[in-house]
Amino acid sequence: MNNALAQYGVLLGLAVGTVGLVLSLYAAARALGRARRESGKDVPATSGRLARDPVWVRYHARYYGYALLFLAFDMEMAYMYPWAVVYKQEGLVALLDMGVFLAILFLGLLYGWSQGALRRQ
Amino acid sequence: MRIAVVLGFLFAGAYLVAVLEARLATGRLRLAAPGWAAMALLGRESVVPRQPDRLFFETAPALLLIAALLAAAVLPLAPGLFITNLATGALFVNAALAYVLVALLMAGWGPDGAYALIGGWRFLGQLIAYSMLIVMPITAVAMRAESLLTTDIVASQTGLWNILYQPLGFVLFFIAAMGVAFLPPFDLPSAEGELAGGVTSEYTGVRLAVFRLGRLVLVITLSAATVVFYLGGWLGPVLPPWAWSAVKILAVSATMLLIGHYLPRIREAHLLAWCWKLGIPLALLNIFIVGVMVLVWP
């Protein structure tokens, strides 16, 4: 328990240290000079002409059919990891249990496919 | 000390990946080129576009680097040579790699640029395509090792490496790993030709340097993950364990870069279709085959 906490502490330290590295790089760049303010320089890349509309408009996520199926599969994977660890000692029972579960999920995928979920909407 | 050595390995690996990438782009092998390029980026102006979402814009490059480093932190290079040895290591790799998506979405949304925004949303679609092909093959690896400890996973491959024990899983994981690192032909979010750099298009100077560093470390991290899960980690004759890890990781990175060099960029709709109609059924089949094999012939 203590050991696990210490390991997460190390990971937190790694993240904080990385932020420190990035900030010190920014500081080094700032010490070399700042960006000169010139008109038109801060316009986002738009191939030479300004965007007509603000770009934060709704982007049509044409993969939403996949995205809904993805939610089901992603939840299912949360069950798979503990199962995978004890799989060998549980033996055939574990294979059948998860086999049924995965078969149902796979049928769901086939059903979604047949209803046209797996295409660019 | 141990942590410093691993980080040194990672950054040295990232440097060599940059050398290789430059070799493929320019046709010339110059060992000093990434160093000069980094210094040049440091000296250049780092322009902030008008009306950005400042929080997202500033967070994205650092978050990409952090995500790559955290995922690498649980991957061992040799017995005893790791940053941490989490009991849930194989799961933690997934958790850390999920933040690659967050970083790229932030980089897409933050600068309020059309190309960047499209790149960011595209990567969300890419995640939906590759994500299952990362987690499902790792499950099959954990089934054989009976553990999520990455060191146990390497130890479980002593007799036979997973690339031979579950070749199907290796192929799926390898392709998906290239998708995570948005290497060509899966460089949809940063497509140079069609999106003018996509998520990276609004980054300049030191921010671009950090972004590129994060991407290079990410390539090394995913190569290391491939080596730990499928290529027997540090296992190998004659050479010391850390040398085997280094050689294998660089070989995997070089293979990824070379494959991408000769393939055209895939369309997002095609990537999604291939991953869901072929990749996921194959990944489920892989879990089933490994499940039977673990019981019959461990």
Q: pLDDT tens across A67-91, in order?
A: 888 888 888 888 888 888 888 888 8
| Nearest CB to B114; choose among A32, A46, A61 | A46
Task: Find chain B residues with C-beta within 8 A of A89's C-beta.
Answer: 146
Q: Closest Cα of chain A to B53: distance in Å?
A: 10
Task: Find chain A residues with C-beta within 8 A of B205's C-beta.
Answer: 29, 35
- Please name the residue of chain B whose CA is at the shortest distance from the CA of residue A64: B125
In this prediction, residues B140-156 reach a mean pLDDT of: 89
Same domain, A73 and A121: yes
pLDDT 10s digits, B83-93: 888 888 888 99
Range of the domain at A2: 1-32
Which pLDDT belongs to residue A82?
Answer: 86
Which pLDDT belongs to residue B247?
Answer: 92
Question: What amino acid is encoded at B74 in this protein?
Answer: V
What the block records as the tokens of B255 is 């293979």
Burial class (CB in 10 A: 0-12, 13-18, 19+), A114: exposed
- Angstrom distance (rounded) from CA B132 to CA B145: 20
pLDDT higher than threshold 90 for residue B251: yes
Same domain, A118 and A79: yes
Report the mean per-residue pLDDT for chain B.
Answer: 89
Residue A68 included in any domain: yes
Q: Closest Cα of chain A to B238: distance in Å?
A: 32
The band of B24, judged by pLDDT with boundaries at 50, 70 and 90, is confident
Instruction: Tell me, yes or no, if A42 comes closer than 8 A to chain B by beta carbon.
Output: yes
- Please name the helix (run of DSSP H) or strand (run of DSSP E) that holds residue A96, with its range, or none: helix A92-114
Cβ-contact B84, B76 below 8 angstroms = no
Residue A46 included in any domain: no
| Nearest CB to B87; choose among A4, A80, A86 | A4
Range of the domain at B166: 2-296
Same domain, A66 and A121: yes
Residue A39 included in any domain: no
Residue A112 included in any domain: yes
Same domain, A14 and A67: no
Q: CB–CB of A7 and B66 under 8 A?
A: no
List, as ranges, residues 65-104 from A with C-beta within 8 Å of B: 66-67, 69-70, 73-74, 77, 80-81, 84-89, 91-92, 95, 98-99, 102
Residue A99 included in any domain: yes
Burial class (CB in 10 A: 0-12, 13-18, 19+), B85: middle
Which of A12-16, B199-203, B257-261 is the least confident region?
B199-203
The closest of B253, B154, B228, B62 to A14, measured between CA atoms, is: B62
Task: Find chain B residues with C-beta within 8 A of A45's C-beta.
Answer: 113-116, 196-197, 201-202
Which pLDDT belongs to residue A2?
Answer: 61
pLDDT higher than threshold 80 for residue B268: yes
In this prediction, residues B277-281 reach a mean pLDDT of: 91
pLDDT 10s digits, A34-71: 877 877 777 777 766 776 667 777 777 888 888 888 88
Q: CB–CB of A85 and B136 under 8 A?
A: no
Instruction: Tell me, yes or no, if A54 comes closer than 8 A to chain B by beta carbon.
Output: yes
Q: Closest Cα of chain A to B139: distance in Å?
A: 6
Q: Closest Cα of chain B to A19: distance in Å?
A: 7
Question: Rounded to whole angstroms, what are the CA distances from A9 to A5, A6, A13, B225?
Answer: 6, 5, 6, 22
Q: Closest Cα of chain B to A22: distance in Å?
A: 7
Same domain, A28 and A66: no
In this prediction, residues B98-120 reach a mean pLDDT of: 88
Which pLDDT belongs to residue B85?
Answer: 86
3-class DSSP assignment, residue A113:
helix
Same domain, A119 and A67: yes
Q: CB–CB of B292 and A95 under 8 A?
A: yes
Which pLDDT belongs to residue A48?
Answer: 67
pLDDT higher than threshold 90 for residue B174: yes
Which pLDDT belongs to residue B233?
Answer: 85
Which is more confidently placed, B186 or A57?
B186
Give the count of domains, chain B.
1
pLDDT higher than threshold 90 for residue B226: yes
Residue B158: what are its φ and ψ, rounded to 5°? -55, -45
Task: Find chain B residues with C-beta within 8 A of A4's C-beta.
Answer: 86-87
In this prediction, residues B191-203 reach a mean pLDDT of: 82
Percent of chain B clearing pLDDT 70 (strictly above): 100
Residue A14 included in any domain: yes
pLDDT 10s digits, B27-72: 888 888 888 988 898 888 888 887 778 899 989 999 999 999 999 9
Which pLDDT belongs to residue B216?
Answer: 93
Instruction: Tell me, yes or no, if A31 comes closer than 8 A to chain B by beta carbon.
Output: no
Give the count of domains, chain A.
2
